Amino acid sequence: MQLQASFSFLLILTFCQELHYASRKVLKSPFPALCKLPLDKGECRAAFRRRFYNFEAGKCELFRYGGCKGNTNNFLSKVKCEKVCKVT
């Protein structure tokens, strides 16, 4: 009888732990945060060919990067942009 009570207690404890951890999980966006950043050409006057992920259009697009400042939605290639932002 005592073994059965211990087993029942362990089952309930395990269930409560799983429920607790499941409630703490944060749903992740399918897109990294940087892929939602707006186009930012930067403040300098260079004209480097770069790609940024246009979240509204759902694709990587070409832009001219000024060479400084800007944000992290800035990729050297279309392949890298599509890989990071998971374009299908």
Does the pLDDT value for residue 37 go beyond 70?
Answer: yes
| Rounded Cα distance, 40 and 27, in Å | 28
| Rounded Cα distance, 14 and 57, in Å | 45
Average pLDDT in the chain: 81
Q: What does the domain layout of the chain look like in residue ranges?
A: 2-84
> What CATH number matches the domain at 2-84, 4.10.410.10, 3.40.50.300, 2.130.10.10, 1.10.3720.10?
4.10.410.10
In this predicted model, what pLDDT tens digit does every residue of 48-62 receive, in sequence order?
A: 999 999 999 999 999
Question: Of 55 and 1, which is predicted with more confidence?
Answer: 55
Which amino acid does the sequence have at 8?
S
In this predicted model, what pLDDT tens digit does every residue of 6-17 receive, in sequence order?
A: 556 545 545 545
Does the pLDDT value for residue 1 go beyond 70?
Answer: no
pTM given for the model: 0.65
Percent of the chain with pLDDT over 90: 61
